[in-house]
Amino acid sequence: MTEFGGQPNRIEKNTKIKGDITSEADFRIDGKLEGNVKTSGKVVIGKDGYINGKVECVNADIEGKFNGELLVKDLLSLKASAVIEGTVSVAKLSVEPGATFNASCVMGKGVPATTVSPKLETAKSNEPAKAS
């Protein structure tokens, strides 16, 4: 989990944060965040975690609750306890039985790249989708 920027960042249970977070490293949220997260790593929302805002990341594992706009460049993995509301843009999606997914979702290779890092902006959202 430390592929991009050293040690992962953590927001522990019983911690509440209001504001925006930008990081090169992975992020784990077990507390509550009202704001936006932008990272060129992975975002994990623990079972007791909650985010209300916009999240831009490469991968995400969600066990807790999310409400807002979720932009995942690669894989979004929803565990059985996950509750997702809002809009989701993702390349790949994995959903365990029991997860609540009340979101409008766009997925696949035609998804616009997130703007988390210039190194990651390889997809061009203006190109038409190619048939497989």
Domain ranges of the chain: 9-100
Give 118's contacts (C-beta < 8 A, 6+ positions apart): none
Q: Using an 8 Å Cβ cutoff, are 53 and 70 in contact?
A: no
User: Which parts of the chain have pLDDT scores under 50?
Assistant: 1-4, 114-132
Q: Using an 8 Å Cβ cutoff, are 51 and 29 in contact?
A: yes
The rounded distance, in Å, linking the Cα atoms of 102 and 67 is: 10
Question: Whose CA is closest to 37, among 21, 52, 19?
Answer: 21
Look-up of token digits 């509301």: 85
Q: What is the pLDDT of residues 5-19, one digit of tens each?
A: 567 788 999 999 999
pTM of the predicted model, to two decimals? 0.78
